[in-house]
Structure formats: structure tokens, C-alpha cells
Structure 1
């Protein structure tokens, strides 16, 4: 198996920063408990509140796919919380260099 490293940046809609922060924070613990999760951290830009970054490490691409396709907390977010996202600023799948 090859670990999968991912970073995703999201910008909240104006006036929806608190709601998005709450919704994103609610994804962290359930995601950390999923099979194949190694790291699942949420950050917010110190200088630009409302700009969030997920840093994720999964044991495999398959584990991450199950997370997105079957995780009830992720499905709930996509059905509800995503309405507070203005845009995805970036989404990168990374490979370790060193």
C-alpha cells in the first residue's frame, strides 16, 4: 500500500464563516476514526478567517475513496454544509519527495 497525502483549501461564503467552521470541525473526529485514516487535521488561516485547509493522510487511495463515498458524516456535509462554501481554493494529492 502507498500512503495518500491530500491538502484541500476551502473559502467560506461571506457571513457563513462560523457555520462552515462548525460543519468542517464536525468532520474531523469521525474521519479520524475511519479505517485507513492516518491524519485528518483542519486548519484556518490566521490572517484570513474563513479560509480553511484540510491536511489528510490515508493508508491508500481506496481508504480515502471509501471515506468520500460511504462516510455518513461526509455525505451529510455534502448534502448540507457545502452550501456555506464559496469555493474550493485548491485540492492537491501529494507525493512525498523526501
Structure 2
């Protein structure tokens, strides 16, 4: 039987005048998150037609380890410095159902 992992899709729409700042802050999260316990993948994407739209595709061993990630100091710093610069943040917790 195949192991079921937690998949996170985080959609981030930023205000155009803050795009490069927020992008730089998002990029800072990559290496530290990929090194976290339970992280399988943590990939950041930028939309080709709307450069103000970013998407994280994450895979975690389980929800408990993802929640630990959500409480880390790096994410807290990101939230603090980007406050008021993000128009929309949508997060989906998902489970892969097919190969």
C-alpha cells in the first residue's frame, strides 16, 4: 500500500508594487523549509501571465510536521515583513488520490 502524504497548495497574490520584495522573502523560505523534518518537497512557482501570483506546492510526511513548520520563526518573520503587501492568501490541505 502506498503511503499517503499531506500536500499543501498555497496561493499568494501580492500587490504589484511589493512584488519583488515579497518574492525575495518567499525565496528565503526555500532552503530552510526543505531542511525541516518531514518535508518531502517545497516548490515555489510564479505565474507566467500574472507575475504577482505565486504558488507553493508542498509535500509533507504528515500534518503534525507541517504544523510544526507553520509555527517556525522563518515563517513568522515572513508574515511580519509582508503584512499589508499580500492581497490574497489561499491555502489548501490536500491528499493525493491517484498515481
TM-score (norm 2): 0.90
Task: Tell me the distance in 1 between the aligned counterparts of 2:4 and 2:37.
Answer: 15
CA RMSD of aligned residues (A): 1.3
Within 5 Å, give how 1:10-49 maps onto structure 2: 10-49=12-51
Task: Tell me the distance in 2 between the aligned counterparts of 1:83 and 1:34.
Answer: 27
Q: 2:62 aligns with which of 60, 69, 72?
A: 60
Aligned to 1:92: 92
How many residues are paired up? Answer: 96
Task: Tell me the distance in 2 between the aligned counterparts of 1:73 and 1:37.
Answer: 15
Aligned to 1:7: 9
Aligned to 2:77: 76
Task: Tell me the distance in 1 between the aligned counterparts of 2:74 and 2:84.
Answer: 15
Alpha-carbon deviations, 1:16-63, whole Å to 9, x = none?
110111011111110000000000010000110010000000111000
TM-score (norm 1): 0.90
Which consecutive residues of structure 1, in runs of 5 or more, have no partner in the other structure? none
Q: CA deviation at 1:81?
A: 2.1
Structure 2 residue matching 1:74: 3-state secondary structure: helix
Kept after mapping to 1: 8 A contact 2:4/2:96: no
